[in-house]
């Protein structure tokens, strides 16, 4: 069951604050084909979090799942760096497909 992206965004932001990370959730996008939520942090870094993990956290606070989500969020910058290094090693340019549309009017 996919949760509302805004509800997931609030939950992730709360986790970031509790961790003491100075990052902001810019956007959360549910990707049905991957069964995950793509969490965009600070408008540039992304961290995919599996739907299954989000469901567990929404239903009950499981400490193991919480630690896994915290790990993914705290290493979002490294994930982007690894992707850049991999692209450079393959002789290509890294082009992040992460983008945030700030021009849209959202009714939250």
Helical segments of 41-75, H only: 51-59, 63-74
**Helix (H, G, I), strand (E, B), or coil: what is residue 53?**
helix
pLDDT score of 103? 60
What's the pTM value of the predicted model, to 2 decimals?
A: 0.73
Q: Which of 2-6, 49-53, 61-65, 82-86 has the lowest mean pLDDT?
A: 82-86
Q: Which helix (H) or strand (E) holds 8?
A: helix 5-19
**Helix (H, G, I), strand (E, B), or coil: what is residue 31?**
strand
């Amino acid at each position: 069951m996919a949760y509302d992206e805004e509800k997931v965004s609030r939950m992730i932001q709360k986790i970031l604050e509790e961790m003491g990370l100075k990052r902001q959730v810019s956007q959360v996008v549910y990707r049905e084909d991957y069964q995950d939520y793509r969490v965009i942090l600070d408008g540039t870094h992304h961290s995919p979090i599996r739907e299954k993990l989000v469901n567990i956290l929404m239903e009950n606070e499981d400490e193991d799942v919480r630690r896994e989500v915290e790990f993914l969020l705290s290493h979002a910058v490294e994930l982007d760096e690894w992707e850049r290094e991999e692209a450079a090693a393959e002789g290509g340019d890294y082009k992040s497909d992460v983008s945030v549309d700030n021009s849209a009017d959202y009714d939250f």
